A and B are shown apart, each in its own frame.
Chain A
Amino acid sequence: MLGRLGSFLRAARRRREFEESMAEEVQFHIEAYTDDLVRSGMPPEEAARRARMELGSVDSVKADCRESRGLAALDALVQDLHYALRLLRKNPAFTATALTTLAVCLGANLTIFAVVDSVLLRPLPFPAADRLVRVFNTYPKAGVLDDGMSIANYYGRRGHIAAFSSVAGIRERTAVVGETGSTEREPVAQVSPEFFSTVGLAPVMGRAFTDEETTYQTDGVVVVTDAYWRQHLGADPHVIGRTIRVDGFTKAVVGVLPPEFTFLSSRARLFFPLASSLEQRLPGQRHSGSGAQMIARLRPGTTLAEAQSEVDGHNAVREADDSLGKRMAEAGFRTLVVPLQADHVSKVRPTLLLLQAGVLFLLLIGAVNVANLLLIRAGDRLKEFAVRQALGASRPQVIREVVTETTVLTLLGGLLGLAVGAAGIRLLGVLGAEHLPLGARIVFDARVALAALAGAVVLGLAIAAPIAWYSLRTHATGALHEGGRGGTAGRAATRLRHGFLVAQMALAFVLLSGAGLLALSLERVMALSPGFRPQNILTGQITLPWKTYDKPSARLAFTQRLLDELAHQPGLRAVGVSTNVPLSGRNGMSAATVKGYVVPPEGSLHGHYSYGVGGEYFEALGFALREGRFLGAADSGSAQRVCVVDEDFARHYFPGRSAVGQRLFPGSKEGTDAEAFTIVGVVGPVKQAGLTEDGGPGAVYYPYVYRADNDEIFVVTRTSVAPESLVPSLRSVVRALDPDLPITDIRSMEGRIADSVIVRRSPAVLAALFSAIAVFLTAVGTYGVLSYAVARRRREIGLRMALGARPEQVRGQFLSLALRLLAAGTVLGVLGAWLTGQAMRAILFQVPPVHVATLATAAAIIGVVSLAACLLPSHRAARISPMEALAEE
């Protein structure tokens, strides 16, 4: 089979060579035979004639030879292609319009498909990636939906859940990497020893971690990615054993990962053991969230449901023995098992699918335009088709020709669309596509290109269907009779064209109203207050490595020196530090226990945001003070344990009472009086997880020194000049204090807010772009159909005007046709918009799925644009001169 295909391809490629060699061979035969005949005594002329006669027609022998080689079908195809290309060349205006439309529509589809493919469809780069799951603790009634895993969970579940062939933990963080003077803050990850074997990609050089390397004393080892190995270690083949300085410690390289290794959206290039203390591993620490996530590999043949029920059983046994078990049950504690990839992209899935649907609508609109143009042209060629059918052209032949023509057109459009798509993917980069989960792997590769071209072929076949139907419906006799206006087929074609136009208006309407809903949602989100004054705030992140800053006092001392230095910088009005800032993307919560508070029946513990703040944090961000006072510099040093809570917290625990003077304990248990923090102030709530966060879980602000166990801090400064202008001085102050401390992620607060809505803004921008194109295409479509209607009825109009019809009547006739089509399109459009609104519910914010003003605006835009598009044709109709129109035939 392959051999035959090869022979066919070789012959097709070297067609000329094939023809020449065949001719030479046949010629040789004739001459050799002639020679033999002459030798046997025949006169030369007679011999030549005889030789030719016995061979038969040279042409038919050649044709039979070609057929033997499978070239006949190729010849027919080549002929059809020539014909199709000639038609396209003959009508440059038509071809340019159709190709531009197809290129834009197919390119837009390719762009969105590239995203859908890489985020939703393409499996993770691991063997049997569909068996990878994430396992996380959830406490929904406490407002904590995802608490990952605790270290104790990892040691408790490891080897104890038969449904999992392995479980592993990963914690992503940042670290200061490099030698003194040239340090950089790098995203890194800490992983348990079986992490690499769980995902199924072991280091290609060296080894993974061992159990012995999971304590704080023995974790001086690192596995690097292929990219890090090439960029920072010179692709050294003897890299194993070399050392890297991380947070001031020396780490020995023990392994290098394969190039394809990427874990979800993690940018980590260095992997360390997930080290822990023996205390952290005790069963009593099961609910102490560690910031780590658990992944597991399902044993072959095990289902997700089986794994879930086994995990539930595993939990039930342990909760029964736990003193905190009742509290946790009240909080709705469960451990969920979810598919790794689907879970990772679940938030963007509806948005991406909607965008894909929207852009498919756009393609339909474009396809309708092309089909209408082709229908018009097929109408002009009815006579030709009829003549050819009368001369014996078979139906399959006509169909083949139409299909070849439309497919050539859509394929050419698809090829141009590849360029549009490549540009579109660039545009997505500008719109922040890499912020999407798995967004970093969005590529324009052969797979996407092939999908686009396959789509183009399907589109070609789809467009061919109505054209072929129309061309064949024409009865030979009907079309031959009259001046090209085949009776019933003509009416059917008109109905088809009008139907197409109505569908097009409806689709454009749906796209417009969908884009309107997204834009309105974005506007409403942007109008929300973050709870602080975001103008003129510059923030940056610093990682304080354990080696140099091992004690809270050392960290506190650093922050105080930093605050002192910054206080002297010109342009800075207020300076603070904090363990977290609003909209940073870190939304971890921890429990707090209010002294004397009794959890009501059916109630539960609550998770809260917990910050350690120093300096003038509240003043720098511009918090609203509701009661009492802010925390001040003195609170970190004093023996008095004080804290500030926000209004959400106060309302939850002290409804109708003052929170000031009340006492609380960090964690889920009451402690001794000496451990209690006294609330000294209540501040307004700020949005932590996102602008749309509503009735947040409440927050507790402790003096930095009590929360200094985190190695990352944010610097927050309120500036009196443009925040960006102070970036260099912020950088140099930090470097002057400690040359090993890079400050990164320096951004204005307004920038952080803008980034936090990127998952809303980018789809809204894309939808607006798509609907603008859709409206334009609809205008082109309306103009085309109306112009054709006018041209077709030229004679009739001329006759009517000759009989006394006024130009306004003629104009009105076409405007009323346009209005009727518009009305039908709008009705269908409203119906479609209603359905679309329902489908969009999940991604709308404070906008009802049916928003009357949006529908009215969409209707107005479509109405104005399509009526404008039909003004010119109807005007032309009104100016038809009866004499000329009637004289034409």
Chain B
Amino acid sequence: MPKTAELLPGTLDMLILKAVSLRPLHGYGVLLRIRQISGDALDIPQGSLYPALYRLEHQALIAAEWGQSDNNRRAKYYTLTAAGRRRLRDETEGWNRLASAIATALGTAPEEV
């Protein structure tokens, strides 16, 4: 099993939005998809997945609908709403800015100061 990283606070929502943006997913699917797209590097605590999903639905960033799962079971599928799409874009930009700023800062060599 590859080494998994601790999830930074506030990033779970962003990851869920990203996962759901690729195609409609049920809760368990979100878990698998995040694992898959992070190259198994991120493992999210299962206990906080559902509260996060309910929170995002409450904020109308994702929408839920009951549908058939692959093995023909009833499952609740989440899709990204327009507001969710905007939020994901904003958060992605914000994250990239932050990440590159931190990378730059951490990459500073002594002679550059």
Please tell me if A7 contacts chain B, counting CB pairs below 8 Å. Answer: yes
A109 CA to B79 CA in the complex, in Å? Answer: 54
Tell me the complex Cα distance, A561–B9, Å.
Answer: 103
B87 at the interface (CB under 8 A from A): no
A65 to B55, CA, bound (A): 7
Residues of A within 8 A of B73 (CB): 28, 31-32
User: 14 additional contacts, CB 8 Å, given A25-B26, A29-B50?
Assistant: A3-B59, A4-B58, A24-B74, A25-B76, A28-B26, A28-B73, A29-B28, A32-B69, A54-B46, A55-B47, A56-B46, A64-B47, A68-B54, A69-B58
- Beta-carbon contacts under 8 Å, A280-329 to B: none
> Contact mask A116-141 → B, CB, 8 Å, 1/0?
00000000000000000000000000
> B57: which A residues are within 8 A, CB to CB?
7
CB of B10 closer than 8 Å to a CB of A: no
Q: State the Cβ distance, B69 to closest chain A Cβ, in Å.
A: 7
Closest chain B residue to A53, Cβ basis = B46
Report the Cα distance A35→B70, complex, angstroms: 13
CB pair B76–A65 under 8 Å, yes or no, is no
B101 CB–A CB distance under 8 Å: no
Interface positions, chain A 1-44, Cβ under 8 Å from B, are 3-4, 7-8, 21-22, 24-26, 28-29, 31-33, 35
A8 partner residues in chain B, CB cutoff 8 A: 58
- Nearest residue (CB) in A for B66 is A21
Contact B46 A55 (CB under 8 A): yes
The answer, yes or no, to whether A67 is at the interface (CB within 8 Å) is yes
How far does the Cβ of B95 sit from chain A's closest Cβ, in whole Å? Answer: 23
Q: Answer whether residue A187 sits at the interface, using C-beta atoms and an 8 A cutoff.
A: no
Assembly CA distance A103 to B81 (angstroms): 50
Does B75 lie at the interface of the complex (its beta carbon under 8 Å from any beta carbon of A)? yes
Q: A21-B76, A28-B74 are in contact. Are A60 and B47 (CB under 8 A)?
A: yes
Say if the beta carbon of A737 comes within 8 Å of chain B: no
The verdict on A61 contacting chain B, using a C-beta distance below 8 Å, is yes
In the bound complex, CA of A56 to CA of B28 (Å): 14
A4-B59, A69-B58 known; A26 vs B50 contact (CB < 8 Å): yes
Contacts of A65 in B (CB 8 A): 50-51, 54
Which residues on the A side are within 8 Å of B50 (C-beta)? Answer: 22, 25-26, 29, 61, 64-65
Q: Is the interface of A mostly helix, strand, loop or mixed?
A: helix
Residues of A within 8 A of B74 (CB): 24, 28
Q: Measured between alpha carbons, how far is A55 from B71 in the docked complex, in Å?
A: 21
List residues of chain B with CB under 8 Å of any chain A CB. 26-28, 45-48, 50-52, 54-55, 57-60, 66, 69, 71, 73-76
Residue of A nearest to B55 (CB): A68
**Distance A55 CA – B75 CA, assembled complex (angstroms):** 17
Q: Within the assembled complex, what's the spacing in Å between the Cα atoms of A60 and B50?
A: 11
A-B contact pairs, 12 of them (CB 8 A): A3-B60, A25-B50, A25-B76, A28-B73, A29-B50, A31-B73, A57-B47, A61-B47, A61-B51, A65-B50, A65-B51, A68-B51
From B28, B48, B59, B75, name the one whose CB has the most chain A CB atoms within 10 angstroms: B28
Q: How far is the CB of A15 from chain B (nearest CB, A)?
A: 14
Q: Which residues of B contact A21 (CB under 8 A)?
A: 66, 76
**Among all A-B residue pairs, the 3 with the closest Cβ atoms:** A56-B47, A64-B51, A68-B55
List chain A residues, Cβ under 8 A from B55. Answer: 68-69
Cβ–Cβ < 8 Å partners of A61 in chain B: 47, 50-51
Chain B residue at minimum C-beta to C-beta distance from A55: B46
Give complex CA distance A35, B46 in Å: 16
B47-A28 in contact (CB<8A): no
- Decide yes or no whether A70 CB sits under 8 A from chain B: yes
Q: In the complex, what residues of A have CB within 8 A of residue B71's CB?
A: 35
Smallest CB separation, B102 vs chain A (Å): 30
A21 to B27, alpha carbons, bound, how many Å? 13
A3 (CB) vs chain B CBs: closest residue = B60
Do A67 and B51 touch across chains, with their CB atoms under 8 A apart? Answer: yes
> Judging by beta carbons under 8 Å apart, are B27 and A25 in contact?
yes
In the complex, what residue of chain B is closest to A67 when comparing beta carbons?
B51
Most buried by B among A26, A32, A56: A32
Q: Which chain B positions have C-beta within 8 A of A26?
A: 50
Roughly how many angstroms separate A28 CA and B28 CA in the complex, as a whole number?
8
Q: B26: nearest residue on chain A (CB-CB)?
A: A28
How distant is B72 from chain A, measured CB to nearest CB, in Å?
A: 12
Assembly CA distance A64 to B50 (angstroms): 8
A29: which B residues are within 8 A, CB to CB?
27-28, 46, 50
With a 10 A CB-CB cut-off, give which of B26, B51, B66 has the most chain A CB atoms: B51
Nearest-neighbour CB distance to chain B for A67, whole angstroms, equals 7
Enumerate chain A residues within 8 angstroms of B66, measured Cβ to Cβ. Answer: 21
Alpha-carbon separation in the docked complex, A646 to B52 (Å): 93
Highest count of chain B CB atoms <10 Å: which of A26, A29, A33: A29
Q: Which residues of A contact B46 (CB under 8 A)?
A: 29, 54-56
- Given A21-B76, A55-B46, A65-B50, are A32 and B58 neighbors across the interface (CB < 8 Å)? no
Chain B residues near A69: list those with CB within 8 A: 54-55, 58
How far does the alpha carbon of A60 sit from the alpha carbon of B26 in the complex, in Å? 20
- Contact partner, B60, options A7, A56, A60, Cβ 8 Å: A7
Chain A: minimal CB distance from B76 (Å) = 5
Give A43-65 interface residues, CB cut-off 8 Å to B. 54-57, 60-61, 64-65
Chain B: CB-nearest residue to A18: B54
Q: How far is the CA of A266 from the CA of B69 in the complex (A)?
A: 72
Q: How far is the CA of A68 from the CA of B60 in the complex (A)?
A: 12
CA distance A35 to B32 in the complex (A): 13
Q: Which A residue sits closest to B32, measured CB to CB?
A: A36
Give the chain A neighbours of B48 by CB distance below 8 A: 64
Q: Which A-chain residue is minimally distant from B51 (CB atoms)?
A: A64
A4 to B27, CA, bound (A): 21
Bound-state CA distance A35–B73 (Å) is 13
Cα(A55)–Cα(B48), bound, Å? 9
Known: A25-B50, A61-B47, A61-B50. A33 touches B58 (CB 8 A): no
Q: How far is the CB of B54 from chain A (nearest CB, A)?
A: 4
Measured CB to CB, the closest approach of chain A to B36, in angstroms, equals 13
Q: Which residues in B have their C-beta under 8 angstroms from that of A3?
A: 59-60
Q: Is B75's CB under 8 angstroms from A28's CB?
A: yes
Distance of B57 from chain A, by nearest CB (Å): 8
Min Cβ gap A35→B in Å is: 8
Q: What is the CB-to-nearest-CB distance from B83 to chain A, in angstroms, rounded to a whole number?
A: 9
Q: How far is the CA of A173 from the CA of B85 in the complex (A)?
A: 70
